[in-house]
Amino acid sequence: MSKQRRPWYLNRAFLTIIRMPDYNESGIFTGVLGMNIDLSWLRLHPKDVEVFHLEKQYEDVEIAKDVHLLDQVAVDLEVANTGRLMVGKGEIRANLELQCDRCLKPYRHQIKLPFNVEFCPEENRSYFKDDETFVYFSEPQVDIEPVVIENIVLSLPLRSLCSPDCKGLCYICGQELNLAECNCQEKEIDPRWEALKKILNGEGG
Ligand SMILES: [Zn+2]
Ligand SMILES: [Zn+2]
């Protein structure tokens, strides 16, 4: 095994397990329940690190158009206190239901996504430019759900396909071409080819 140099902030890592309650029955994403991590210990320990593991159950929550979050979302996050900031890097694992752009059917899509997030205590805001994308916080509990959702949505491909070779729907009759072919293509022959066909069949001239 190769010897790996561990960054300073990993040397005294310890594990905090936070289990979030299930998503409520309303089925509408509000972010109210949140995915909270408690940064109060880490704030008092510069140059230290805390590891968070969060799991949250979602019951079909639409987080963007035709993007549904299903089942469990798991987040591993390692946050280092670098002084003025808390710098986090982690991984999001989630099950999504997307809609295929070609055949319009819903399909399952699993993601495993690295992500980064920086937390800035409110009193340190003046040290940084306004356009920084930090998560500012003043309470010990910080909700990372908006960051997690945003990272999931931004990671999605511009074109959602249930499979790379999905044949989609016939643009004339709407037949799903993965299941069966239709006859529309034959009827739609370019008139120039029609003339050529006649010549080849000996009908021309
Ligand atoms: Zn498809
Ligand atoms: Zn057709």
Convert the pLDDT of each residue in 159-205 to its tens digit: 899 999 999 999 999 999 999 999 886 655 566 666 777 777 776 44
Same domain, 113 and 205: no
Please indicate, yes or no, if residue 3 is contained in any of the structural domains: no
Higher pLDDT, 204 or 71: 71
- Pairwise CA distance, residues 85 & 124, whole Å: 8
What confidence category does residue 33 fall into, taking pLDDT thresholds of 50, 70 and 90?
A: low
DSSP 3-state assignment of 172? coil
Q: Which ligand is nearest to the CA of 159?
A: 1
Whether 186 is covered by a domain: the verdict is: yes
pLDDT tens by residue, 8-21:
333 333 333 333 33
> Within a domain: residue 189?
yes
For residue 95, report the distance from its CA to the centre of ligand 2, in Å. 33
Computed over every residue of the chain, the mean pLDDT equals 80
Please indicate, yes or no, whether residues 86 and 176 belong to a single structural domain of this protein: no
Specify whether 201 is located in the same domain as 110.
no
* 11: nearest Cα among 37, 47, 35: 47
- Rounded distance from Cα 180 to ligand 2 centre (Å): 10
Domain total of the chain: 2
**Structure tokens of 23?**
């998503």
Verify that 55 and 119 share a domain, yes or no: yes
Phi, psi dihedral angles at 8 (to 5 degrees):
-55, -35
Q: How far apart are CA 42 and CA 141, in angstroms?
A: 12
Residue 46 shares a structural domain with residue 123:
yes
Residues 41 and 136 reside in one and the same domain:
yes
Nearest-ligand number for the alpha carbon of 165: 1
Of 50, 55, 63, nearest to 12 by C-alpha is 50
Same domain, 32 and 97: yes
- CA–centroid distance, 108 to ligand 2, in Å, is 27
Residue 66: pLDDT band with limits 50, 70, 90: confident
Does residue 186 sit in the same domain as residue 155? no
DSSP helix/strand/coil, 169: strand
Q: Does 185 lie in the same domain as 99? A: no
Q: How confident is the model at residue 61 (pLDDT cuts 50, 70, 90)?
A: confident
Give the structural domain span for 200: 167-205
Instruction: Look at residue 63 and tell me whether its pLDDT is greater than 50.
Output: yes
- Checking if the pLDDT of 30 tops 50, the result is no
Nearest-angstrom CA–CA distance, 13 and 71 = 29
Centre of ligand 2 to C-alpha 189, Å, is 13
Could you tell me the pLDDT band of residue 146, with boundaries at 50, 70 and 90? confident
Per-residue DSSP letter, 96: E
Record the tokens describing residue 85, joined without a space. 């900031």
* pLDDT over 70 percentage in the chain: 76
Same domain? 130 vs 67: yes
pLDDT higher than threshold 60 for residue 134: yes
Task: Look at residue 179 and tell me if it is in a domain.
Answer: yes
**Using a CB cutoff of 8 Å and minimum separation of 24, what contacts does 161-167 make?**
161/100, 161/101, 161/102, 162/100, 162/102, 162/103, 162/105, 162/107, 166/100, 166/102, 166/103, 167/102, 167/103
pTM of the full structure: 0.71
Q: Mind listing the pLDDT tens digit for each residue in 91-103?
A: 999 999 999 999 9
One domain, residues 45 and 130 = yes
Whole-number Å distance, alpha carbon 80 to ligand 1 midpoint, is 42
On whether residue 2 sits in a domain, the answer given is: no
Q: Is residue 1 in a domain?
A: no
Same domain assignment for residues 46 and 147: yes
| Residue 120, pLDDT score | 93
